[in-house]
Amino acid sequence: MGAEQDEAPQAYRAASPIAHVHSDAPPFFLFHGTMDTLVPYEHAEFFY
């Protein structure tokens, strides 16, 4: 991102998938393995 989150909050917000979800957005297909060691499974649940 080029900076810490507290230094560039708008850039982090723009990079977040959550910022792009709205009622006119196309459907999302969420697929997340429970053995993923990089991104916790709960992130996909929160996104859903």
Kindly report whether the global pTM for this prediction surpasses the value 0.85.
no
> Six-digit token pair at 21?
């979800």
- 37-45: Cβ within 8 A, 24+ apart: none
Q: Give the pLDDT score at 9.
A: 95
Among 24, 42, 22, which Cα is nearest to 34's? 42
> Six-digit token pair at 3?
């900076």
5-46, pLDDT tens digit by residue?
999 999 999 999 888 888 898 888 888 888 888 988 888 888
